[in-house]
Amino acid sequence: MALSPLDILQKQFGPARRQGYEPDDVHRFLDGVRESWEATLKEAARLRDELRQAQEDADRLRAQQDEIKETLILARRISTDLEGSARREADIIVGEARLDAERILSAAHEEERELQEAVIRLKASKVHMVSELRSLVSAQSRLLDEWE
Domain chopping of the chain, boundaries:
24-111
What pLDDT shows up at residue 124? 94
Task: Tell me, rounded to whole angstroms, the distance of Cα 36 from its chain centroid.
Answer: 59
Q: What is the predicted pLDDT for the residue at 95?
A: 96
Strand, coil or helix: what is 71? helix
The residues, ordered by sequence, that sit 6+ positions from 33 with a Cβ below 8 Å of its Cβ are: 8
> pTM of the entire structure?
0.45
CA distance 148 to 137: 16
Please state which of the ranges 21-25, 37-41, 87-91 shows the lowest mean pLDDT.
21-25
Whole-number Å distance between alpha carbons of 34 and 11: 11
What is the Cα–Cα distance from 146 to 71, expressed in whole angstroms?
109
